Chains A and B, each alone.
Chain A
Amino acid sequence: DVKVTQSSRYLVKRTGEKVFLECVQDMDHENMFWYRQDPGLGLRLIYFSYDVKMKEKGDIPEGYSVSREKKERFSLILESASTNQTSMYLCASSLRGGRFHEQYFGPGTRLTVT
């Protein structure tokens, strides 16, 4: 089974702090994704990566950056956390190439910025 793990289930940070959310997958997937989930808005793509050191902006990249130094790990960085970044963050991974491949999700990190 594909396993996607996220470093924390719950996180509380103060405004202005630098925040790192870590995601690791164990199935050698090329693609990795970071989403933000808010009530009534569904999941919105923040960034995705299709290879090591490669990244592309999603629909809502403002206020976020990402890092992918190793194939299995994809980090989401909030350079200066703000209260409007309080949300559930979901990481996902998928194979790349050929037909479309389904995404596999981690359990999520619920971030509260105070």
Chain B
Amino acid sequence: AQSVTQPDIHITVSEGASLELRCNYSYGATPYLFWYVQSPGQGLQLLLKYFSGDTLVQGIKGFEAEFKRSQSSFNLRKPSVHWSDAAEYFCAVGSGGGNKLTFGTGTQLKVEL
């Protein structure tokens, strides 16, 4: 069965600093990988996804992620964080059967002004 690990429960960065959120997955085949963001009191919004091809994926709001098969990782990055990026971020891996997703436990991002 697939699994996702987000090793950082909380991360605090200063506004304007760079950001990297870690995600490691376990899946037997080529994974479908996703990053979602959840603002306080809201549902989840898709930031970006990796299905195949170029291992560097661009998403919305200036985010990008890099798929590294050798490390089973799909880390999320942003060069310069804005105060509005404060939210919870979830990494997920998809399995083909039924389009099901397995989520990590999330990383709470705090942005200091």
Contacts of A92 in B (CB 8 A): 44
Which has the most chain B C-beta neighbours within 10 Å: A4, A96, A105, A107?
A105
Asked if B9 is an interface residue, CB under 8 A from chain A, the answer is: yes
How big is chain B's contact interface, by range? 20 to 34
Q: Which of B36, B44, B45, B51 contacts A100 (CB 8 A)?
A: B51
> Is A31 within 8 A of B98, CB to CB?
yes
Which one of A4, A96, A100 has the greatest number of beta carbons of chain B within 10 Å?
A100
Q: Are B43 and A100 in contact (CB under 8 A)?
A: no
- Kindly state the separation between the CA atoms of A107 and B105 in the bound complex, as whole angstroms: 19
How would residues 92 to 113 of chain B score, 1 for a CB under 8 Å from any chain A CB and 0 otherwise? 0010101111011110000000
**B42 is an interface residue with CB less than 8 A from chain A:** yes
> Does A50 have its Cβ within 8 Å of any Cβ on chain B?
yes
* Pairs A–B under 8 Å by Cβ, sample size 23: A33-B100, A40-B105, A44-B103, A45-B100, A48-B98, A58-B100, A90-B44, A92-B44, A94-B99, A95-B99, A96-B98, A99-B51, A100-B96, A100-B99, A102-B34, A102-B46, A102-B49, A103-B101, A104-B46, A105-B44, A105-B45, A107-B42, A108-B41
Rank and list the top 6 A-B pairs by shortest CB-CB distance, nearest first: A105-B43, A42-B105, A105-B44, A43-B103, A100-B32, A42-B103
